[in-house]
A and B are shown apart, each in its own frame.
Chain A
């Protein structure tokens, strides 16, 4: 286990460097961060040259990247265009997105697993078919459509929820955006649970439990569910990483000042330190989530042993 973890951590290093370098390349080489500082005006060449020198932008790209990474690992993420340190932006944005993600994950776990178990146990019946159809429809409606429509219906038409979220983003206001964010994953979770339940319902240990005469709810909760939830739990684990980066659309629709909002602003204004800094953190979160999930396999399923 320890050696496996170490090997995985080592394998993460090139992936981390590659991913961040790709983003770094897109931001710094495809765009022009100095020109972006001047907005619509043409920059004065002498000033531009001085800024370039101050920001190490006159060096070759790989030197810029190495310098940037060195700064990041000593905790200096640079400053945004308005002089605010990027770390300050992160301190305000990450808790909000984390709360939003937690709402989304709680929603998809509660509803997704329930629906998946119910339809898996009643395979081929009316409920199963309707859940399958429902998930198909949910997957086909893009988040920005479902978000806008639900915002209109619940927030504006019926007034059940706040249509936009205040900067503090308390948990109650994040309920509706969380549901929107978790909607697609909900479909995945419920179908995954269903497949897993259907598969495990044929397993020998379930037959043994039935033969022993255990009550049905005990078979389902203690024997069947425990084994069937392994892929679901691991899916949700990786999903947390993906949801944090994928919340851009939801945060834009509901005006949530989280990671997606800051990134969107940073990209539109070509505010390079913000973009690369946030993406670097997201890549780390994502890679660690993947590693944790793989390790979780072994914990949840004793049949899997990592050398």
Chain B
């Protein structure tokens, strides 16, 4: 018997191929015709027709719409969603590995001196581009600076940008999207159009134009820019999630009991609608780090006094024939960091969304 037609599948719960997500509101699983078709039929909103974009336009398209799951019953064990998710996560090796890597990265971002005693700015031109030496396992860069020390110190910029940009985009996006989903009406329509405007701008182009006029080399303009172009993605997810949740009986009950809009939103809707936002935000964190490095590579993100993997890779790329080690270490560190966050997001999604496994 060929595997795809394994009879086992017939026993498991079949995922409805079409229309399953239609009732769930405009949560915009990017390329999900099931979610998009009926929506287009009903409201004609192009909000949910939101296409996947280049590398930084997550939600990753192979993921299904996270908002849909909330409609389903919670864990049959009687435990809450969060307890259940935590129970799953603790047993997931991917989660443990990625969480350990991220913990390590955060620690060295705060105290790089813990594992690197040198000075990242100290250069010895006599040793320029030298290979590994005792006490300097990664070798030296073009200015004779220790690549190991610079790689360790580079974590700070990436982690700061990643976490701050994600927090900013998640807060702004879920506030705007949540309000739009809850109140609907003209504000909802306006927000959808505004989000479309931001989606219409290719993100790297926007970054180049916006950041090329900024002369400061600190992380904050980059964070600001990523928040500016990152919030529409989160707001779509949050809106779809809130639209689904607000139809539930307990929300109706709270409203009938006379709870104010603010109380309904914060106490009843938010805790039940936040899961998809967390999933998307975690995965977006990795891509934001990658975006920051790309902008720095192009020369418009962070600027040289700041130690950043993107800048180091950019200067190493020109020297790759003579000294590949200059490129290898920061590039490896960057890739592992992005990988860790994407894996963490994957694990969190699996835990919060058992149906999608």
Task: Show the binding face of A for B, using Cβ within 8 Å.
Answer: 4, 7-8, 11, 14-16, 18-19, 22-23, 26-27, 30-31, 120-123, 125, 136-137, 139-145, 148-149, 152, 156, 184-185, 188, 191-192, 194-195, 197-203, 206-207, 210, 216, 219-220, 224, 227, 230-231, 234-235, 238-239, 241-243, 245-246, 248-249, 252-253, 263-264, 267-268, 270, 275, 279, 282-283, 286-287, 289-290, 293-294, 297-298, 301, 303-307
Contacts and interface: CB of A to CB of B under 8 A. Distances in A.
B62 A188 contact: yes
Nearest to B201: A19
Contact of B313 (A144, A267, A279, A289): A144
Contacts of B346: 136
A286 B46 contact: no
Interface string B2-33: 11110001101011011100000000001111
B320 A152 contact: yes
A235 B38 CA distance: 19
B342 interface: yes
A18 B200 contact: yes
**Interface SS majority for chain A:** helix
A186 to B, nearest CB: 11
B321 A206 contact: no
Nearest to A224: B4
**Interface SS majority for chain B:** helix
B200 A15 contact: yes
Given A4-B40, A142-B290, A191-B62, A202 B205 contact: no
B210 interface: yes
A18 B193 CA distance: 9
Nearest to B300: A267
A104 to B, nearest CB: 11
Given A125-B3, A230-B33, 15 more contacts: A23-B206, A121-B2, A136-B343, A142-B334, A142-B335, A144-B293, A188-B52, A202-B10, A203-B14, A231-B31, A238-B31, A263-B208, A279-B209, A282-B202, A303-B18
Contacts of A188: 52, 60-62
B200 A16 contact: yes
B62 A19 contact: no
B5 A246 contact: no
Given A234-B31, A249-B294, A143 B55 contact: yes
A294 to B, nearest CB: 5
A18 to B, nearest CB: 3
Interface in B38-61: 38, 40-41, 44, 46, 49, 51-55, 57, 60-61
A22 B197 contact: yes
Nearest to B290: A142
Contact of B213 (A30, A206, A304): A30
Given A27-B209, A142-B290, A243 B54 contact: yes
Interface of B: 2-5, 9-10, 12, 14-15, 17-19, 30-33, 36-38, 40-41, 44, 46, 49, 51-55, 57, 60-62, 64, 193-194, 196-198, 200-206, 208-210, 212-213, 286, 290, 293-294, 297-299, 313-314, 317, 320-321, 324, 327, 331, 334-336, 338-339, 342-343, 346
A275 B52 contact: no
A135 to B, nearest CB: 8
Contact of B335 (A7, A141, A194, A248): A141
A201 B4 contact: yes
B200 A305 contact: no
B339 A137 contact: yes
Q: Which of B18, B49, B55, B343 has the most CB of A within 10 A?
A: B55
